[in-house]
Amino acid sequence: MSKQTFADIVTLIKSHQGEDTVLSVKEDLKQPQAVIKTSQLESVARLLWETPSLYFDSLSCLTALDNGEKEGTLEVLYHLYSIPYEHAFIMKVVVPRGDENNLPEVPSLCGIWKTANWHEREAFDMYGIKFTGHPDLRRILLPTDWQGYPLRKDYKEQETYHGIKVAY
């Protein structure tokens, strides 16, 4: 089986999930990306994992980005890799930033790739993205009673934590 190109994979997604599933593509990047409709993320992920000619058996990285208050969005990028076929694919979703009382939600992919578990917990901990359907969504790097999400661009560091000065 030959290595699938980025364009081949996007075409397959559109043919199985519908043209409107892929909101945009950025092919001119060193690592091309496809923006997927958040509501169809899980079905696209399952398609990429279950399709024999693709078999993306590895979620090697999940990362989040804060586009700032002006843009008003957060992004979650999924770096997929097929070990047997040696091809890669990056898909991402874009969600509104929300606030402390209304966190943005993205479907969990733990049911497809076990590695999503800790990756999603880290994105939750640092950016406040709620991964719906996650089996154990709680902080992984910070204490459970930490306030805020440190990698958000508008994060305001606590002055103290349990009487200990935070800034040093």
Report which secondary-structure segment, H or E, holds 6. Answer: helix 6-17
What pLDDT shows up at residue 1?
Answer: 57
CA–CA gap between residue 35 and residue 26 (Å, rounded)? 8
What pLDDT shows up at residue 99?
Answer: 82
pLDDT of 48 > 80? The answer is: yes
* Domain assignment present for 78: yes
What is the pTM for the complete model shown?
0.93
State the total domains in the chain: 1
Instruction: Enumerate the β-bridge partners of residue 106.
Output: 131
CATH of the domain at 84: 3.30.460.80
* Domain assignment present for 143: yes
Domain range for 21 is 6-165
pLDDT of 2 > 80? The answer is: no
Q: Position of tokens 């800034």? A: 167
Tally the residues of the chain. Answer: 168
Higher-confidence position of 4 and 45:
45
**What average pLDDT does this structure show over 124-151?**
96
Q: What is the pLDDT of residues 13-35, one digit of tens each?
A: 999 999 999 999 999 999 999 99
Three-class SS of the chain: CCCCCHHHHHHHHHHHHCHHHEEEEECCCCCCEEEECHHHHHHHHHHHHHCCCCCCCEEEEEEEEECHHHHCEEEEEEEEEECCCCEEEEEEEEEECCECCECCEEECCCCCCCCHHHHHHHHHHHHCCEEECCCCCCCCCCCCCCCCCCCCCCCCCCCEECCEECCC
Q: What is the pLDDT of residues 52-109, one digit of tens each?
A: 999 999 999 999 999 999 999 999 999 999 999 999 999 999 999 998 789 999 999 9
* Domain assignment present for 1: no
Q: Residue 156 class from Cβ within 10 Å (0-12 exposed, 13-18 middle, 19+ buried)? A: exposed
Q: Which two tokens stand for residue 97?
A: 């930033």
